[in-house]
Amino acid sequence: MTASTIEPKQATQWQKTPIANLVRNTASGNYYARVRVKGKLIWKSLKTDTLSVAKLRLGDFLKQENHRVEIVQAASRGRMTFGDAVAIYTKRIEDAQHLKPRAKEYRQDTINALLKSWPGLGSTDVRKLSVSDCLQWASGFAKKYCPSFFNNTVGTLRLILKIAIDSGARYGNPASEIKKVKVRQKILKLPEHDQFPALVKLVRKAGGRFSKDCGDLIEFLAYSGARLGEAARIYGSDCDFANGKIAIKGDLETGTKNWEVRTIPMIPDMRQLLERIHSEKAKEQWAKNPVVGVRECQKAIDSACKKLEITRFTHHDLRHLFATRCIESGVDIPTVSRWLGHKDGGALAMKTYGHLRDLHSTTMAQKVLFSETPQTTIASLPLQKNEPTTAEPQKKTPAQAKAKYSYPWWASNEATEIFWGQANEPVQIVPLPKYLQSAKAAMGREVFEQELSEPQALLDELLERVGVATIEKLKAKISGNQKQPAT
C-alpha cells in the first residue's frame, strides 16, 4: 500500500497505539503511518506486524515526508538542487503501482549511472544547468554505455528536470536537446537444426549434478518461447495434456512481464519432453513443483557451445529460436506474437522476424508451377561495354567463367565476397557446400539450401544488412575487375 490521502471508511478496523501517528489494522495486524502534512492526511502501510519494527519505519517515513515538503517549499521559492529533484523522482518511482520491482531497480540504476558520470550534479542548482552542459555529459556517456541504456538514462534525466520545471524552479528542459542513439537490431545467430539436438545431448551427458535438468530447461525454453523467469514458475498443474496447452502465469505477485496470464500450445516436441518429465515424478510432486529442476543453465550452454564450436547464445536467444522455428514452419507472425506474450499486435515480432516471413514466402512460391519445368531466374552481373548481349549457344565451364575475372573472388577469405560473386555468376564456380557456408556467414543467419535458388532475394537482403557502401565496394572489386575481351 502506498501513501494515500483517503481516510479509510471503516474506522473500527483501526486500533490506536501509544506511538503518535502510528495505528494498527485489526484485520491484518499490520501497522500503518497516519500523519497530516500541509493539511493532507496521509496513510502508508509500514508492512510489518511488529511494533518495534513499525516504530523504526515510522521514523524513516516521517523524515522522508518532511524532507519532501522542504524540497517543495524551496522549489516554490525558486531554489532546488538536482539532488532535490532526484529525491522526489525516486519517491515517485517507489510509490508507482504500475512498475514491477525489476523495473524500479532499472530506473534506480539509470539514476546512479547519471550521478556517477556527472560529478557534482547532485548539488548543482537546477537553474544553472544549460543545454551545453547536458550535451557535453551525453557525449561522454554515450561512449561508455550501450545505446539502450544511454537512451533510458537520457529519459530519466528529462523526467527529473521536468520535476524542477513543474515546481517552478526553472523554465525549459535543457535535456530535450539530447538526441537519442539509434539502437541497432541484433543479428540473431541461433543453433542450426542439426546443432540444437547435439547441444542438448552434450549438456545432458556432461556429468554434473544438474546436467539432466539443464538439458530439460534448454529444451523447455526452445519449445515454449517462455522467458527464463516465466519458465521457472511453470508447475506441472499448469500443463494441460488433454487440450494441449500450457498456462504461463509468471510471478505470484507481479505475474508475467505484461501482467497477464497467457496460454501457449504444446507442440509435439514439448509434449514428448513433458510426458517424460511427468513419468519420472510422483503425481503430487509433478503438480506442486516447477516442471524444470533448475532456474538457469548459462554455464552449461557456454561449455557446450565451446565444445561444438558454435556461436554462444543465451537463455533469451532460445525464445528467438522458438519464434524462428514457428515462422519457418508457416505460423503467421501475429499468432507467434501472441504466443510470445507481446501486446503490440505483432509489431515487435514483425520487426525482429519479418525477414523470415519474406524468405518463407519466397521459398513457398517456388512450389507454385504452371509448367512442367520450373524456371529459375539468375541475377547476372552488369554487362560490360564490349560484352555481347546475346546468350551463348553452349553452357560455359567454370574455367571459362573464371577467365573473365581479374580478381579471384572464389578463393577469397572473405565470405561476403564469395557469396556475392557466386550469387551474381550464372555458372557454378564455388562448390555448393562452400557457397551455402559463405551465404550463412555473409547474411549472419541460418540460410537454407533452397534459398540459393533465388539469389536475388538474398542479394536484396544483403543490401539491407550491410548497406549501399559495402555493396558498391563489392561491385568495384569484383564486377569492376572483369577482364575485357580482346578486340
Q: Give tens-digit pLDDT for 335-393.
A: 888 888 876 555 665 666 655 545 555 655 665 666 555 444 444 445 444 444 444 44
Bridge partner residues of 435 (DSSP): none
The per-residue b/e assignment along 129-144, b for 16 or more CB within 10 angstroms, e otherwise, is beeeebeebbeebbee
Q: Cα 469–439–298 angle (5° rounding)?
A: 100
Residues 6+ apart with CB under 8 A from 393: none
Give the mean pLDDT of 260-287: 88
Give the mean pLDDT of 327-341: 81
Question: Residue 364: what pLDDT?
Answer: 58
Q: What percent of the chain has pLDDT over 70?
A: 79
245-248 and 31-37 beta bridge pairing = unpaired
Question: What's the rounded Cα separation, in Å, for the pair 70 and 38?
Answer: 11
What confidence category does residue 300 fall into, taking pLDDT thresholds of 50, 70 and 90? very high
Give the mean pLDDT of 190-205: 90
Task: Name the CA radius of gyration of the chain, rounded.
Answer: 31
Question: Residue 360: what pLDDT?
Answer: 55
Question: What's the rounded Cα separation, in Å, for the pair 311 and 322?
Answer: 17
List the beta strands (DSSP E) in 161-218.
none
Residues 436/449, Cβ–Cβ less than 8 Å: yes
CATH fit for domain 195-365, picks 2.60.40.10, 3.40.190.10, 2.30.110.10, 1.10.443.10? 1.10.443.10
Give the mean pLDDT of 398-423: 86
Q: In what order do the strands lie in the sheet with 22-25?
A: 14-16, 22-25, 31-37, 40-45
Q: Give tens-digit pLDDT for 48-96.
A: 988 888 888 888 888 777 767 656 665 555 578 999 999 999 988 888 8
CATH code at 82-177: 1.10.150.130
- Residue 311 pLDDT > 50: yes
Of 429, 426, 427, 395, give the one whose Cα is nearest residue 409: 429
- Residue 117 pLDDT > 90: yes
245-248 and 14-16 beta bridge pairing = unpaired
Question: Residue 378: what pLDDT?
Answer: 43
Out of 16-30, 92-106, 213-227, 323-337, the most confident range is 213-227
This prediction has a pTM of: 0.51
Is residue 44 classed as helix, strand or coil in its secondary structure?
A: strand
What confidence category does residue 219 fall into, taking pLDDT thresholds of 50, 70 and 90? very high
Q: What amino acid is encoded at 271 in this protein?
A: R
Q: What percent of the chain has pLDDT over 90?
A: 26
- Kindly report the average pLDDT of the chain as a whole number: 81
- Residue 161 pLDDT > 80: yes
| Residue-range domain boundaries for the chain | 11-76, 82-177, 195-365, 398-481
Q: Give tens-digit pLDDT for 428-452.
A: 888 888 888 888 888 888 888 878 8
Chain centroid offset of residue 436 CA: 29
Bridge partner residues of 41 (DSSP): 36
CB-CB neighbours of 340 under 10 Å: 23
Give the containing element (helix H, strand E) for 240. Answer: strand 239-240
Question: What's the rounded Cα separation, in Å, for the pair 237 and 132?
Answer: 58
Please report, to the nearest 10 degrees, the dihedral formed by the alpha carbons of residues 152, 157, 159, 160 taken in order: 140
Residues 6+ apart with CB under 8 A from 243: none
